């Protein structure tokens, strides 16, 4: 047969176009687009369905130790399976360096965790917490050669934080290698000051987690991050942006031509801090950082997504169970500052955006594709292969039934969690068939993929096309001095 598989009768959408087309797939790639294709060994009838690029989930914590040592509930099998059921074809979790570890060891550890287990294609962002001379000069370039072209740093958490000086080192090293730096931006000192005052006065219930991480902590760190990155003309991506003022700082920097990018997450769009105020320890299920905000913030995040301030929409899946292995590892009623931060959501990321966004007319289907796949492929150097539907690209495809109704339950999820923060929500639209490189991974509610079927994706350098030089005057080549500093 001419094709291994033909998807017939669907409506195809990319980040720019929506059109009726069949898709012919051969050797894992899209080989033909057009009407009336046949000659497939197999055929999928997509009549009445949307045929979209498979999602690319680029912010998820899988088989990762937190700063305090707690292991996430999902490994690369359950994490990738859950991602697949939620319409994703590719995941990019983190490979986290803890202090004292070499990058070489970190990458080896995560290769061992991912390669035998992931059902989807994968890569990692490298978290850098210990930027020694050796790491900066030899190990980060080595990771980059390996196709790991994004590095992440934390401006908060005592065990992960990098100083502003180290952040400049990492930004310059990343820039020199063509890598993109990502950052968790919150002011550590401000948060610690709030935490100690709250705890000292006996305010230790989960709802005070949100109080202890005020919007100002995020806004200050975003402003500082923009200042540092722009000073050395390095690209910087702010993950999990949760405040209007933070997003506006990003929008302003972008309007000034700076290489600044932003991401937000479903929890900030579909939940509020009111969820923290539940009886007993229930509120710990909703402890994440930055914290949940309010309904006014939800409204402005939609605007920032549509305006292009924020290019990415990711789950920040950080699964810690509601038991002694996770949220309750410090007792059945832990003070808010002793609760593992994070919540699950890798499977619901795209369905939530489809239901609340596309089905309710808040975003176009094309913006949905951009936010769930195309923009991530571009920012993280995978767009030669992934993130769109075009001849020659990987046949990473999610076939969505736009009318399917689902009520969210924890037991309906395929992760290794015992709760979902989105319990009870009624969703319209669901990805019923998911392909990775032409292989059917999920179909009709069943897993079809084998453990370890996913490939490591060697990523390309960050593409800075279209950004004009913005380097600070003191650092411009005209002085012929900056070369000595970089």
Is residue 342 a contact point for ligand URP (CB under 6 A)?
yes
Q: Assess contact for 164 and 220: CB atoms under 8 A.
A: no
Please pick, from the candidates 249, 250, 288, 328, the single residue that binds ligand URP as defined by CB under 6 A. Answer: 288
Q: CB of residue 91 vs ligand URP: minimum separation in angstroms?
A: 15
CA pair distance 55, 49, nearest whole angstrom: 16
Region of residue 437 (left: phi > 0; alpha: psi -120 to 50; beta: else): left
* Interface map 26-65 toward ligand URP (x if CB under 6 A): -----------------------------------x----
Regarding 275 and contact with ligand URP (CB under 6 A), the answer is no
User: Least distance from C-beta 273 to ligand URP, angstroms?
Assistant: 14
Q: Which is nearer to ligand URP, 131 or 319 (CB)?
A: 319
Contact at 8 Å (CB) between 156 and 214? no
Task: Give the strands of the sheet with 121-122, arranged side by side.
Answer: 55-57, 88-91, 121-122
> Taking CB under 6 A as the rule, does residue 316 contact ligand URP?
yes
Nearer to ligand URP, 61 or 414 (CB): 61
Closest CB to Zn ion belongs to which residue?
184
Does 341 participate in binding ligand URP (rule CB under 6 A)? yes
Q: What angle do CA 362, 60, 145 make, to 5 degrees?
A: 115
Specify whether the CB–CB gap between 59 and 265 falls below 8 A. Answer: yes
Phi, psi (degrees; rounded to nearest 5) at 228? -65, -45
At its nearest, how many Å lie between Zn ion and the CB of residue 126?
13
Which of ligand URP, Zn ion, none has residue 213 at its interface (CB below 5 to 8 Å by kind)? Answer: none
* Shortest reach from residue 293's CB to ligand URP, in Å: 14
Q: Is 113 in the site for ligand URP (CB under 6 A)?
A: no
Paired sense of beta strands 88-91 and 22-26, if any: unpaired
Q: Which partner in Zn ion, ligand URP, none is near 139 (CB below 5 to 8 A by kind)?
A: none
Distance, in Å, from the CA atom of 287 to the CA atom of 295, rounded to the nearest integer, reads 17
Pairing of strands 439-443, 446-447: antiparallel
What track of x and - describes contact with ligand URP for positions 168 through 187 (by CB under 6 A)?
----------------x---
In angstroms, what is the minimal distance from the CB of 123 to Zn ion? 16
Nearest-angstrom CA–CA distance, 169 and 112? 29
Neighbours of 184 (CB within 10 A): 22
Q: Which residues bind ligand URP (CB under 6 A)?
A: 61, 184, 288-289, 316, 318, 341-342
């Amino acid at each position: 047969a001419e094709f291994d598989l033909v998807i017939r009768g669907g409506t195809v959408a990319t980040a720019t176009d929506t059109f009726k087309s069949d898709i012919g797939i051969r050797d894992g790639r899209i080989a033909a687009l057009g009407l009336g294709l046949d000659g497939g060994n197999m055929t999928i009838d997509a009549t009445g369905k949307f045929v979209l690029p498979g999602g690319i989930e680029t912010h998820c914590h899988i088989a990762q130790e937190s700063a305090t040592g707690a292991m996430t509930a999902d490994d690369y099998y359950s994490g990738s399976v859950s991602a697949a059921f939620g319409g994703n074809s590719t995941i990019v979790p983190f490979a986290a360096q803890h202090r004292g570890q070499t990058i070489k060891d970190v990458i080896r550890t995560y290769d061992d965790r991912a390669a035998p287990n992931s059902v989807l294609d994968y890569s990692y962002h490298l978290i850098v917490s210990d930027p020694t001379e050796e790491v900066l000069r030899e190990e980060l370039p080595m990771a980059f050669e390996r196709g790991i072209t994004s590095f992440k740093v934390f401006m908060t958490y005592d065990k992960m934080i990098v100083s502003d000086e180290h952040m400049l080192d990492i930004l310059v090293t990343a820039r020199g290698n063509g890598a993109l730096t990502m950052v968790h931006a919150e002011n550590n000192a401000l948060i610690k000051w709030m935490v100690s005052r709250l705890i000292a006065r006996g305010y230790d219930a989960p709802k005070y987690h949100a109080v202890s991480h005020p919007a100002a902590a995020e806004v200050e760190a975003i402003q500082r991050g923009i200042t540092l990155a722009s000073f050395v003309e390095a690209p910087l991506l702010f993950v999990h942006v949760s405040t209007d003022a933070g997003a506006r700082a990003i929008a302003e920097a972008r309007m000034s031509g700076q290489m600044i990018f932003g991401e937000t997450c479903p929890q900030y769009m579909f939940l509020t801090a009111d969820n923290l105020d539940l009886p007993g320890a229930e509120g710990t299920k909703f402890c994440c950082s930055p914290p949940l905000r309010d309904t006014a913030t939800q409204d402005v995040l939609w605007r920032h997504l549509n305006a292009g301030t924020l290019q990415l929409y990711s789950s920040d899946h950080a699964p810690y169970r509601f038991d002694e292995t996770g949220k309750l590892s410090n007792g059945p009623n832990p003070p808010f500052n002793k609760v593992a931060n994070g919540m699950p959501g890798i499977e619901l990321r795209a369905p939530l955006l489809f239901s609340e966004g596309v089905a309710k007319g808040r975003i176009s289907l094309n913006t949905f594709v951009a936010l769930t796949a195309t923009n991530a492929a571009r920012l993280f150097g995978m767009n030669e292969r992934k993130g769109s539907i075009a001849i020659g690209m990987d046949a990473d495809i999610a076939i969505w039934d736009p009318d399917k109704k689902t009520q969210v339950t924890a037991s309906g999820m395929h992760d290794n969690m015992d709760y979902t923060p989105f319990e009870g929500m009624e969703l319209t639209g669901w990805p019923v068939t998911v392909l990775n490189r032409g292989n059917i991974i999920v179909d009709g509610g069943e897993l079809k993929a084998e453990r370890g079927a996913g490939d490591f994706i060697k990523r390309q350098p960050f593409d800075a096309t279209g950004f004009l030089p913005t380097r600070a005057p003191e650092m411009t080549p005209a002085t012929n001095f900056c070369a000595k500093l970089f």
